[in-house]
Amino acid sequence: LVGAEADEVAVTTSVSQAVSALVSALPLERGRNRIVISEFEFPTVGQIAHAQELRGAEVVHVRPEADGRIPLERFAEAIDERTALVCCTAISYRTGYRLDVGEVARLAHARGALCLADSYQAAGAVPLDVRALDVDLLTAGTVKYLLASAGLAFMFVRRDLHERLLPTQTGWFADEDIFRMDISDYSPAGDARRFDAGTPPVPNIYAGIAGMGIVEEAGVAAIEAHVRALVDRLFAGLDELGATVATPRGDGELGPLVCVASTDPDALVRALGDERIVTSSRDANLRVSLHLYNVEEDVDRVLEALASHEHLLA
């Protein structure tokens, strides 16, 4: 799914747990106390980052332009020699904008900082390769495009960081020998498992394995191509309706999410739900998410429903 080896992957109950363990390992008191986050981060990342202000961290937000894009120059301005961690989102849950994660990682490394890519809205929908992206850390979970449930997530941790990072938020599954049942010292595992926590929800793991198996069988590249055709069809119909699309459409900027401006997005979600069309709302937008199980007829049904509720489009 992400091009990582097994010893580079921590299995967690959520990205919140993974990121909390990660930042607990950052030696913020040693001069590098800045954490850079984009404005598109999920609350998990932003709230955990700001919690580190209690440890002396300085949190800097990278804000988007009016067109919904975050220029790389904004990241370059925020990252300096004091930066410990740069957090970015592969695909924004708020707008569907797909960021050039590899370039953000390059900017972070140029200043000696680590780069964390939250890929929750990307894993299973677009190809991901931690080597090609050159990220230090990458998180994702199974509740979105990996076709399973909440309660299961993972974090890639680059192998050369295993010995450097010592998380103080931990659990017995993170110990070097969990069945030794030792309570006399702190002996974390020598690989990414040191970022594990307690006993995971076992039923969720079976669901996660099944969901990831479906994605693997279909092939992420094939899924991306299928979804892109559906996204293009949706864009064409939205343009005919005169709708305002909040999702940037440039080359390399698209994923499986399309956001449409609405005068009352919650009402629009309810109206579509009455027609058995499941969507969601973020900010002032309706969010439509497409995946391998969707077909052209699904897109057409969405467009027909939007046409009948055109008064709710901005």
SS3 of residue 172 by DSSP? helix
Instruction: Say yes or no: 149 and 43 in one domain.
Output: yes
Q: Where are the alpha helices (DSSP H) in the chain?
A: 15-24, 43-51, 72-78, 101-110, 130-133, 202-218, 220-241, 265-274, 296-308
CATH code for the domain of 96: 3.40.640.10
Within-domain flag for 128: yes
Residues 258-292: b if buried by 16+ CB within 10 A, e if exposed: bbbebebbeebbebbeeeebebebbeebbbbbbbb
Number of compact structural domains in the chain: 2
Instruction: Say yes or no: 52 and 193 in one domain.
Output: yes
Of 214, 238, 257, the position where a domain reaches its end is 214
Instruction: Say yes or no: 223 and 205 in one domain.
Output: no
Within-domain flag for 248: yes
Instruction: Say yes or no: 84 and 99 in one domain.
Output: yes
Alpha carbons 40 and 68: distance in angstroms, whole number: 10
SS3 of residue 152 by DSSP? coil
Q: Report the C-alpha dihedral over residues 20, 21, 23, 27, rounded to 10 degrees.
A: 150
Instruction: Say yes or no: 184 and 231 in one domain.
Output: no
Residue position matching structure tokens 């937008």: 285
Q: Which tens digit of pLDDT belongs to each residue from 9-61?
A: 999 999 999 999 999 999 997 789 999 999 999 999 999 999 999 999 999 99
At 73, which amino acid appears?
E
SS3 of residue 150 by DSSP? coil
What CA–CA distances, in Å, run from 124 to 92, 144, 283?
15, 8, 25
Q: Which DSSP string do the residues of 178-247 spell out, in sequence order?
A: GGG---SS--B-SSGGGG--S---HHHHHHHHHHHHHHHHH-HHHHHHHHHHHHHHHHHHHHHHT--B-S
Within-domain flag for 35: yes
Has this prediction a pTM greater than 0.85? yes
Within-domain flag for 1: no
Q: Is-contact 122 132, C-beta < 8 A?
A: no
User: Of 2, 56, 66, which Cα lies nearest the Cα of 30?
Assistant: 56
Instruction: Say yes or no: 82 and 225 in one domain.
Output: no
Q: Is-contact 28 52, C-beta < 8 A?
A: yes
What CA–CA distances, in Å, run from 39 to 92, 97, 289?
9, 12, 21
User: Of 38, 33, 25, 27, which Cα lies nearest the Cα of 53?
Assistant: 33
Of 214, 233, 268, the position where a domain reaches its end is 214
List the pLDDT tens digit at each of the 314 positions of the chain. 999 999 999 999 999 999 999 999 999 977 899 999 999 999 999 999 999 999 999 999 999 999 999 999 999 999 999 999 999 999 999 999 999 999 999 999 999 999 999 999 999 999 999 999 999 999 999 999 999 999 999 999 999 999 999 999 999 999 999 999 999 999 999 999 999 999 999 999 999 999 999 999 999 999 999 999 999 999 999 999 999 999 999 989 999 999 999 999 999 999 999 999 999 999 999 999 999 999 999 999 999 999 999 999 99
Instruction: Say yes or no: 228 and 205 in one domain.
Output: no
Instruction: Say yes or no: 125 and 234 in one domain.
Output: no
Instruction: Say yes or no: 245 and 156 in one domain.
Output: no
Q: What is the number of other CB atoms lying within 10 angstroms of the CB of residue 206?
A: 13
Q: In which domain, by residue range, is 187 found?
A: 6-214
CATH code for the domain of 241: 3.90.1150.10
Which tokens hold the place of 22? 């990660």
Instruction: Say yes or no: 193 and 207 in one domain.
Output: yes
Instruction: Say yes or no: 161 and 33 in one domain.
Output: yes
Largest pairwise CA distance in the chain = 68
- Measured at the alpha carbon of residue 4, what is the angle toward residues 96 and 144, in degrees to the nearest 5? 35
